[in-house]
């Protein structure tokens, strides 16, 4: 870089006698080479924060982006939105780009940290560089980052008890891939609930899908073949796919089949029928994520714990009593 050890020492110790251009060059070199800045200089990173989203098709992710972006702005930070597209820039590529921008931290709202079988090397890079990171919604173990999550177990319990109270006995689930941690938690909760009432959730009543309307439709078709009368879904788009599957079979929602979504994302009260769903507290979760990030950017440590937030069942028109002709 062409500067003396004495100059580097002055920069690291905050001493005078160094031009702004040289100071910035030294600090940038530290970032590029992977050295951690001294605590007192961390605030001199670019006031940028990466906000990494897996997609924008599901309305829950733009909703998180709006809350997190607003909360970051209140902290004097600017979000850099990184949205993955199929065949486009990967999550690992975005992390590399964000490091080049010398971001102050990164918030992930959905991503490969959900999936046990996905590559996770880019998270280790962030950890090694001591970049503040916060994860929204359940992650695999051992990543070591703080997170905020909606309680998947409570969400399933609310949906399950609602359907049982209506008289449903054959309740199926449309979940994400088998290595998807939030889906694993949802399934464990459903099986525990069934066990507590002396029943089971047969494997045939659990359908896996990619998180899309089409995935939900295909998965729900398999459940309808098994004669389920109630379907709990791991996202609202999956639930809308389940409603479409029922209609393709000539069934009515909710007269023949009840469907419960998850998220209460935008416009779910405008669908036909309006969707019964479990609402994530997006506002509280997003603000908590930014608060955890801001504390780290300020040079203070935070526990690598997961903060669990309580969801809320929103009952609308997609659930009702099962057909009387159906037997348990």
Do 173 and 125 share a structural domain? no
Residue 318 lies in a domain: no
Do 122 and 269 share a structural domain? no
Q: Are 293 and 49 in contact (CB under 8 A)?
A: yes
> 3-state class of 278 per DSSP?
strand
Residue 328 lies in a domain: no
Do 137 and 9 share a structural domain? yes
Do 251 and 294 share a structural domain? no
Q: Are 86 and 94 in contact (CB under 8 A)?
A: no
Three-state SS for 76-124 is: CCEEEEEECCCCCCCHHHHHHHHHHCCCCEEEEECCHHHECCCCCHHHH
Please say which residue of 280, 302, 323 terminates a domain.
280
Residues in the chain: 328
| Range 141-149 average pLDDT | 92
pLDDT over 70, % of the chain: 92
Question: pTM (2 decimals)?
Answer: 0.84
pLDDT of residue 10: 74
| Range 188-212 average pLDDT | 95
What range defines the domain where residue 230 resides? 152-280
Q: Are 29 and 1 in contact (CB under 8 A)?
A: yes
2: left (phi over 0), alpha (psi -120 to 50) or beta: left
d(CA 179, CA 136): 17
pLDDT of residue 221: 98
Q: Please state the φ and ψ torsions of residue 175, each to the nearest 5 degrees.
A: -125, 170
Residue 304 lies in a domain: yes
Q: How confident is the model at residue 174 (pLDDT cuts 50, 70, 90)?
A: very high
Do 72 and 215 share a structural domain? no
Do 293 and 226 share a structural domain? no
- Look up residue 101 and give its two tokens: 């921008």
Q: Please state the φ and ψ torsions of residue 129, each to the nearest 5 degrees.
A: -85, 0
Please say which residue of 259, 280, 301 terminates a domain.
280
Q: Which residue has the higher pLDDT, 38 or 75?
A: 75
65: left (phi over 0), alpha (psi -120 to 50) or beta: alpha
Q: With 50 as the cut, is the pLDDT of residue 327 above it?
A: no
Do 48 and 135 share a structural domain? yes
Q: Are 179 and 118 in contact (CB under 8 A)?
A: yes
- Look up residue 195 and give its two tokens: 């066990």
Do 60 and 84 share a structural domain? yes
How many separate domains does the chain show?
2
Do 222 and 105 share a structural domain? no
Return the DSSP state at 178.
Answer: T
Q: With 70 as the cut, is the pLDDT of residue 223 above it?
A: yes
Q: Which of 28-32, 60-64, 109-113, 159-163 has the lowest mean pLDDT?
A: 28-32
Domain at 238, CATH number: 3.40.50.2300
- Comparing C-alpha atoms, which of 137, 113, 132 is closest to residue 63? 137
Residue 173 lies in a domain: yes
Do 263 and 207 share a structural domain? yes
d(CA 314, CA 299): 40
| Range 87-114 average pLDDT | 92
Interval 241-294: pLDDT, tens: 999 999 999 999 999 999 999 999 989 999 999 999 999 999 999 999 999 999
d(CA 236, CA 271): 11
Residue 26 lies in a domain: no
pLDDT over 90, % of the chain: 77
pLDDT of residue 326: 42
Do 69 and 9 share a structural domain? yes
Residue 20 lies in a domain: no
pLDDT of residue 93: 93
Do 38 and 143 share a structural domain? yes
**Average model confidence (pLDDT) for the chain?**
90
Interval 12-59: pLDDT, tens: 776 777 787 777 777 776 666 656 555 555 545 568 999 999 988 899
Residue 25 lies in a domain: no
Q: Which residue has the tokens 């996770």?
A: 120
Return the DSSP state at 180.
Answer: B
Q: Are 157 and 311 in contact (CB under 8 A)?
A: no
């Amino acid at each position: 870089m062409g500067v003396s050890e004495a100059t580097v020492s002055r920069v690291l110790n905050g001493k005078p006698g160094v031009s702004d251009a040289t100071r910035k060059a030294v600090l940038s070199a530290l970032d590029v080479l992977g050295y951690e800045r001294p605590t007192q200089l961390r605030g001199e990173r670019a006031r940028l924060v990466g906000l990494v989203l897996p997609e924008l098709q599901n309305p829950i992710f733009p909703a998180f982006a709006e809350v997190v972006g607003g909360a970051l702005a209140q902290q004097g930070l600017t979000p850099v939105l990184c949205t993955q597209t199929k065949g486009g820039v990967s999550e690992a590529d975005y992390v590399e780009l964000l490091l080049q921008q010398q971001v102050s931290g990164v918030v992930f709202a959905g991503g490969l940290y959900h999936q046990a079988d996905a590559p996770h090397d880019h998270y280790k890079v962030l950890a090694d560089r001591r970049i503040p990171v916060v994860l929204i919604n359940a992650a695999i173990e051992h990543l070591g980052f703080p997170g905020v999550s909606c309680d998947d177990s409570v969400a399933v319990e609310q949906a399950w008890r609602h359907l049982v109270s209506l008289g449903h006995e054959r309740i199926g689930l449309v979940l994400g891939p088998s290595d998807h941690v939030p889906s694993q938690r949802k399934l464990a909760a459903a099986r525990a609930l069934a066990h507590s009432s002396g029943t089971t959730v047969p494997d045939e009543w659990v359908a896996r899908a990619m998180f899309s309307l089409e995935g939900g439709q295909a998965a729900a078709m398999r459940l309808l073949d098994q004669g389920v009368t109630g379907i709990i879904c791991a996202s609202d788009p999956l639930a809308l796919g389940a409603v479409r599957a029922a209609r393709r079979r000539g069934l009515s929602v909710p007269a023949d089949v009840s469907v419960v979504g998850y998220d209460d994302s935008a416009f779910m009260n405008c669908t036909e029928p309006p969707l019964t769903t479990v609402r994530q507290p997006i506002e509280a979760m997003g603000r908590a994520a930014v608060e955890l990030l801001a504390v780290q950017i300020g040079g203070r440590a935070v526990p690598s714990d997961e903060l669990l937030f309580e969801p809320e069942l929103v009952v609308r028109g997609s659930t009702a009593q099962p057909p009387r002709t159906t037997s348990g």
